[in-house]
Amino acid sequence: DAGVTQSPTHLIKTRGQQVTLRCSPISGHKSVSWYQQVLGQGPQFIFQYYEKEERGRGNFPDRFSARQFPNYSSELNVNALLLGDSALYLCASSLGREKTQYFGPGTRLLVL
Amino acid sequence: KNQVEQSPQSLIILEGKNCTLQCNYTVSPFSNLRWYKQDTGRGPVSLTIMTFSENTKSNGRYTATLDADTKQSSLHITASQLSDSASYICVVSAAGTASKLTFGTGTRLQVTL
């Protein structure tokens, strides 16, 4: 079985632009969570979606938004990019909200 | 405020040696504690998960311990290999939340010849 997949793997944007990151969960997993990991730090929780509804939100500005589709895949959108948004964005899926999360390889975003 | 602190921040050991990584947390109410291994630029991979009633759990050469009274956990790596070089992240989940996990900043382990 395929694990969690994310696209693109790398992305370069300039300040003020918008970006969309995509995540496909493990087959059968209904929960998807998004994390931001700045170099040298642990991941920071952004969102959790379960059954297509937002179930949790971290301490991130409204420039960050996400959604989950009927097939449980998910997109993370970031508007008005700032230099500080440069990070590895991780997606994790799980069977349920309290189950072990399995991480994808991440999307590395660089904002210039 | 829920926090997870790990020590040491980084560690260099010779191949074949053992090492122990530490994790202290203040997450409450406690649900479970996980140890993840993260290779550079890759997503974390789960090594162990422990609930309140579990004191120890092993996964091959990795053995995790949990003391829920002192809110401490350790990850012991036996007979280290070059492929063990990675960051090891302690992650604690609070009960009754929307699965918001609190991550430590990790211990960066380098195994050398």
| pLDDT-based confidence at residue B104 (cuts at 50, 70, 90) | very high
The DSSP 8-state label assigned to residue B43 in this structure reads -
Residue numbers in A near B49 (CB within 8 A) = 100
Q: Is the pLDDT of residue B22 over 60?
A: yes
Convert the pLDDT of each residue in A37-82 to its tens digit.
998 888 888 999 998 898 888 889 999 999 999 999 999 999 999 9
What six digits make up the tokens of A107? Answer: 């999307």
- B3-8: average pLDDT: 94
Q: Which residues contact A18 (CB under 8 A, 6 or more apart)?
A: A77, A78, A79, A80, A81
Could you tell me how many CB contacts below 8 A there are between chain A and chain B? Answer: 57
Which pLDDT belongs to residue B29? 85
| pLDDT-based confidence at residue B41 (cuts at 50, 70, 90) | confident
Phi, psi torsion values for B104, nearest 5 degrees = -80, 170
| pLDDT-based confidence at residue B28 (cuts at 50, 70, 90) | confident
**Which amino acid is located at B17 in the chain?**
K
**Nearest residue to A61 (alpha-carbon basis) of A43, A84, A38, A88:** A84
**Nearest residue to A89 (alpha-carbon basis) of A15, A10, A2:** A10
Which pLDDT belongs to residue B40? 85
Residue numbers in A near B47 (CB within 8 A) = none
Q: Do A4 and B43 touch (CB under 8 A)?
A: yes
Residue numbers in B near A101 (CB within 8 A) = 46, 99, 101
Q: Do B46 and A101 touch (CB under 8 A)?
A: yes
- Contacts by A55-58 with C-beta closer than 8 Å and gap 24+? A55/A31, A55/A97, A55/B98, A55/B99, A56/B97, A56/B98, A56/B99, A56/B100, A58/B100
Convert the pLDDT of each residue in A80-97 to its tens digit.
999 999 999 999 998 876
Q: Label residue B83 left, alpha or beta by phi (over 0 means left) and psi (-120 to 50 means alpha).
A: alpha
| Mean pLDDT of all residues belonging to chain B | 91
Pairing of strands A31-37, A44-50: antiparallel
Which pLDDT belongs to residue A98? 67
Residue B31 at interface with chain A, using a CB cutoff of 8 Å: yes
Phi, psi torsion values for A82, nearest 5 degrees = -115, 160
